[in-house]
């Protein structure tokens, strides 16, 4: 193959366009062409964040994770809807079933709205177009497809195909297309990591691709440092793994409509969240190995605390250790959000061929 795929084997990354908003438009066609924002219970007066926004709303700067009240100010005439997770899951299931029906495809689901496909073909663009047509025919949802010779390149390629398009990224054109992009444009490099890279003088993908491995290891550790350099090159696994996804942990969080500050009220809220989390953990029948606490102080400063604990299935022990994290909350400081997470032992924590991921919020 002239473009780097071995034996005609390619990775496709299928990403549904404005998925949640698109599902809402299908349910109510009069929303088509309007700025649609989905988040919380659909009430911007409450504390909630945007889950997704239609392209029409995004033109005003609305994005996922933005406080709903701010999004409402940016687009006063927006249609704001509550999150309906069952509806989105049902639509996602139909999409994933369609992908699995494609000839010779191996499908690795990444979330409600995206998946990798491993396919063998001499014309990956034609295959991608057939996938788009099949998804549209069955679900009336549009998707974009990134084509790559690795998982990383396929994932990043999708950004150039949106909306409703197809784009190919391989070893041959990676630096030509991605080289001058900021490191934050890479899958797996967020704003915090990009800022730390900038302190090393690394601000672009091209610079990361040739960065000093020793300097990266010194900043990020012997595992993550080299991995970030690998991301800069677009290298890595080309194996699409259809092994059923297993949750690494469970988490719950709540946003208080009125800030809380009383220590007993905080502990009570933490215990309620932990009860919900541990009920889900019990359903997986795996022991807890770590805990996390997320605290958002008013007005909007977020802190996270984590700790490993001896492997245990004893609920009382987990609660005791979780309350040790709760004790780290600054006394007297108003809290607007609280979250708790329990990490579980994995049945196989080091499967080969997986792209490295990090768990947590």
Question: pLDDT, tens digit, for every residue of 208-243?
Answer: 999 999 999 999 999 999 999 999 999 999 999 998
Specify whether 282 is located in the same domain as 319.
yes
Do 191 and 333 lie in a common domain? no
Question: What is d(CA 218, CA 233) in angstroms, rounded to the nearest whole number?
Answer: 19
Q: Which of 212, 209, 184 is nearest to 200 (CA)?
A: 212
pLDDT of residue 356: 40
The per-residue pLDDT for 350 is: 41
Does one domain contain both 148 and 26? yes
List active site positions.
114
* Total count of domains within the chain: 3
> Could you tell me the CATH number of the domain that includes residue 280?
3.30.1490.100
Q: Are residues 145 and 201 in the same domain?
A: no
Range of the domain at 304: 249-344
Residues of the chain under the 50 pLDDT cut:
1-2, 350-359
Task: Please provide the distance, in angstroms rounded to a whole number, between the alpha carbons at the two ends of the chain.
Answer: 40
Residue 360 in domain: no
* Share above pLDDT 90 across residues of the chain, in percent, rounded to a whole number: 88
- Structural domain ending residue among the three candidates 168, 191, 208: 168
Rg (CA), the chain: 22
Instruction: Say if residue 16 is in the same domain as residue 147.
Output: yes
Angle at 267 between CA 262 and CA 273, to 5 degrees: 130
What is residue 304's three-state secondary structure?
Answer: strand
- Global pTM value: 0.78
Residues 34 and 133 both lie in one domain = yes
Examine the domain organization and report whether 225 and 151 are in the same domain. no
Q: What is the CATH number of the domain that holds 39?
A: 3.30.70.270
Model confidence pLDDT, tens digit, residues 153-187: 999 999 999 999 999 999 999 999 999 999 999 99
For residues 122 and 262, state if they share a domain. Answer: no
Question: In 10 A of CB 12, how many CB atoms?
Answer: 28
Q: Are 24 and 158 found together in one domain?
A: yes
If asked whether residues 182 and 258 sit together in one domain, one would say no
255 and 308 fall within a common domain: yes
């Amino acid at each position: 193959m002239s473009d780097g795929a071995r034996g005609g084997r390619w990775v496709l990354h299928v990403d549904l366009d404005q998925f949640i908003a698109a599902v809402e438009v299908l349910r109510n066609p009069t929303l088509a062409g309007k700025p649609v924002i989905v988040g919380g219970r659909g009430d911007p007066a409450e504390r909630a964040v945007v889950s997704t926004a239609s392209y029409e709303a995004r033109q005003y700067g609305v994005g996922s994770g933005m406080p709903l009240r701010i999004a409402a100010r940016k687009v006063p005439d927006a249609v704001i809807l509550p999150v309906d997770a069952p509806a989105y899951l049902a639509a996602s299931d139909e999409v994933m079933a369609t992908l699995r029906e494609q000839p010779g495809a191996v499908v690795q689901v990444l979330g409600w709205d995206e998946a990798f496909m491993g396919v063998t073909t001499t014309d990956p663009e034609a295959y991608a177009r057939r996938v788009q047509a099949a998804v549209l025919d069955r679900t009336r949802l549009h998707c974009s497809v990134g084509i790559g010779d690795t998982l990383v390149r396929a994932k990043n390629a999708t950004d150039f195909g949106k909306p409703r398009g197809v784009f190919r990224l391989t070893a041959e054109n990676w630096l030509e297309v991605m080289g001058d992009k900021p490191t934050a444009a890479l899958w797996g490099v967020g704003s915090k990591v990009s800022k730390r890279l900038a302190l090393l003088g690394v601000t672009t993908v091209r610079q990361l691709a040739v960065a000093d491995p020793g300097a990266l290891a010194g900043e990020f550790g012997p595992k993550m440092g080299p991995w970030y350099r690998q991301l800069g090159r677009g290298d890595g696994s080309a194996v699409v793994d259809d092994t059923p996804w297993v949750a690494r942990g469970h988490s719950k969080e709540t946003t208080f409509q009125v800030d809380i500050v009383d220590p007993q009220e905080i502990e009570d809220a933490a215990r309620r969240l932990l009860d919900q989390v541990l009920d889900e953990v019990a359903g997986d029948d795996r022991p807890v190995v770590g805990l996390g606490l997320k605290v958002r102080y008013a007005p909007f400063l977020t802190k996270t605390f984590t700790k490993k604990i001896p492997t245990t299935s004893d609920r009382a022990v987990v609660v005791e250790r979780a309350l040790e994290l709760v004790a780290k909350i600054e006394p007297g400081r108003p809290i607007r959000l609280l979250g708790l997470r329990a990490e579980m032992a994995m049945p196989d924590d080091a499967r080969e061929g997986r792209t490295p991921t990090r768990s947590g919020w």
